[in-house]
Structure 1
Amino acid sequence: MKSTQPLIDTHLHLASEQFNEDRRAVIERAIEAGIAAMVEIGYDLASSHAAVALANAHPAIFAVVGIQPNHLHDLPSDWIDQIRKLAAHPKVVAIGEIGLDYYWMKSPPSAQEEAFRAQLALAAELGLPVVIHSREAMPETIAVLRDAARGPGVMHSFSGDWTAAQECLELGFYLSFSGPLTFPKSAALHEVVQQAPLERLLIETDSPYLSPHPHRGQRNEPSRLVYIAQKLADLRGLSLAELGPQLWQNTLRAFPRMAETLG
């Protein structure tokens, strides 16, 4: 499947070992499918360094750096300074993915919130947006954001209902949708896409995870962003040709540093 409109995959993990054998081919397939830019997301120090390296090596790739709540153990004492230094790279467009995860609960809620708030403060200091990870912790995530941050920012792979979506929108955040949007039983997500302002919607693959229908259960890759874009277009009663330019502008507003390169 190919898009005639250039699209941006706002969240993926190309540095994953699942791409070690064919990373270059995956990037080439994405570009051939109409994916004009990709945002490589860090989740710990190693992946944040790798994200910057990928962005440095590929014109179409940008980076986001940060510590995800499932990767808080064994951090060095200077971890926030390391993220600050990485964020100085001109192709780093946000701090993330950061937030709360009460599904895996690999760190206690207090430790998760402390790291979350520290990185929200760093993003504010640097004038960068944030990319938010929230799993089984949407009310708690929104409470922290209401207290410590306002947009711009992105709710990664949004999985909440319309009530949660409204709260995120009121805080100035964009809602980003991934493979589950294409699943027939995702009625709550379909409602959010139909109700939310079109100018606040983004799309992502979260590759290598969350592959869309009809590739569910397979390793995901950025070329499959087109399936997500098409589903979003269908839900809004638009053609992909009509939707594509809107998604492009939404992404550049969400990540102003990208706009400096992509216009």
Structure 2
Amino acid sequence: MYIDSHCHFDFDVFDERRDALMKACLSAGVSGFLVPGVKRSSWSKLSNLQQGYSQWRVAYGLHPYFLSESADDDLGYLGDQCEGGNAIAIGEIGLDNWPGSFDMAVQISIFCQQLSIAKSLKLAVIIHARKSYDLVFKCLRKTGFQHGGVIHAFNGSVEQAKRFIDLGFVLGIGGTITYPRAKKAHRTLTMLDKEAFVLETDSPDMPLCGRQGEINTPLSVIDVAKHVASLKSMTVEEVANQANKNLLTVFPKWNEDVF
């Protein structure tokens, strides 16, 4: 059994093929999906879709990419949405320091407020961190957040990885690991304990090597597991089982009866 710990299965690009793709995933052994929300306008759709797919788990958050679409009162609704929408985490949240990104001071303020909400609800978080690992770490320390979560699409150093792991986080490993040029990502993964990672696709984005320009899907998590197995000298089954165990450790609400 494979779990895709980060896929945007609610995005419009999947609307015409979602049911068929779900069937294909289940037939292939991909039978768990964590779908994080990215903006308030998408939370209702995500919540409704989750009711129809028992294999989905969901989170809600304000992604730094979409802050230009946010309203001042969005944060006020986040806690209620998480409590009423069967959330197992708050996310996708974080900081994006790519050139041209939203004002960083505003990003930091909204990120810290979302961490505080997660802290008050005792929920883990799913963190987007692009060229911002040190800033993210400072925000985690500043808010005293101690409920762990996932650092999505981790591509940092071993030292940065260990700092997050010490705070109760696991690292999301996805399509980047399939590229031969991703030497730092390969080296970091080989040096970390097997308890440190989960598998993800970031569908429909982050296509695997050789599939650039294609719409990525949760089926790709199988190939991600194969690459991790090669780098970690494990079998694919061992990788899938370990990743699932790691995921359930950081998201203890996954198997609660409410789902």
TM range (shorter): over 0.9
Identity within the alignment, %: 28
What SS does structure 2 have at the residue aligned with 1:77?
coil
Structure 1 letter corresponding to 2:241 = P
Aligned 8 A contact 1:62 1:93 in 2 = yes
Point out where structure 2 has 5 or more consecutive residues left out of the alignment. none
2:255 aligned with 1:226: no
Out of 32, 36, 41, the residue aligned to residue 37 of structure 1 is 32
Q: Which residue of 2 aligns with 1:257?
A: 253
Cα distance in 2, alignment partners of residues 135 and 141 from structure 1: 10
What SS does structure 2 have at the residue aligned with 1:258?
coil
Please show how residues 54-133 of structure 1 align to structure 2 within 5 Å. 54-89=49-84, 91-133=86-128
Cα distance in 2, alignment partners of residues 142 and 183 from structure 1: 27
Offset from partner CA, 1:211-234 (integer Å, 9 cap, x none): 223423311000111000111111
The structural deviation recorded for 1:50 is: 2.2
Q: Which residue of 2 aligns with 1:13?
A: 8
Structure 1 length as normaliser, TM-score?
A: 0.92
Out of 172, 195, 201, the residue aligned to residue 176 of structure 1 is 172
Cα distance in 2, alignment partners of residues 74 and 243 from structure 1: 38
Structure 2 letter corresponding to 1:60 = Q
Q: Which residue of 1 aligns with 2:242?
A: 246
Cα distance in 1, alignment partners of residues 132 and 96 from structure 2: 6
Structure 1 letter corresponding to 2:141 = R
What SS does structure 2 have at the residue aligned with 1:260?
coil
What SS does structure 1 have at the residue aligned with 2:201?
coil
The structural deviation recorded for 1:166 is: 1.7
Aligned 8 A contact 2:47 2:85 in 1 = no
Aligned 8 A contact 1:8 1:38 in 2 = yes
Q: Which residue of 2 aligns with 1:3?
A: none
Aligned 8 A contact 2:123 2:147 in 1 = no
Structure 2 length as normaliser, TM-score?
A: 0.94
Point out where structure 1 has 5 or more consecutive residues left out of the alignment. 1-5
Cα distance in 1, alignment partners of residues 37 and 239 from structure 2: 28
2:182 aligned with 1:186: yes
What SS does structure 1 have at the residue aligned with 2:163?
helix
What SS does structure 1 have at the residue aligned with 2:80?
helix
Cα distance in 2, alignment partners of residues 56 and 151 from structure 1: 26
Aligned 8 A contact 2:64 2:107 in 1 = yes
Out of 125, 129, 136, the residue aligned to residue 141 of structure 1 is 136
In angstroms, what is the RMSD of aligned CA positions? 1.8
Distance 1:64 1:82, change over 3 A: same
The structural deviation recorded for 1:248 is: 1.3
Structure 1 letter corresponding to 2:105 = S
Cα distance in 1, alignment partners of residues 100 and 124 from structure 2: 25
Offset from partner CA, 1:20-75 (integer Å, 9 cap, x none): 22111111111111111101111111222222222111101111100011222353
Cα distance in 2, alignment partners of residues 137 and 200 from structure 1: 20
What SS does structure 2 have at the residue aligned with 1:212?
coil
The structural deviation recorded for 1:88 is: 1.2
Aligned 8 A contact 1:210 1:217 in 2 = no
Structure 2 letter corresponding to 1:138 = Y
Aligned 8 A contact 1:190 1:235 in 2 = yes
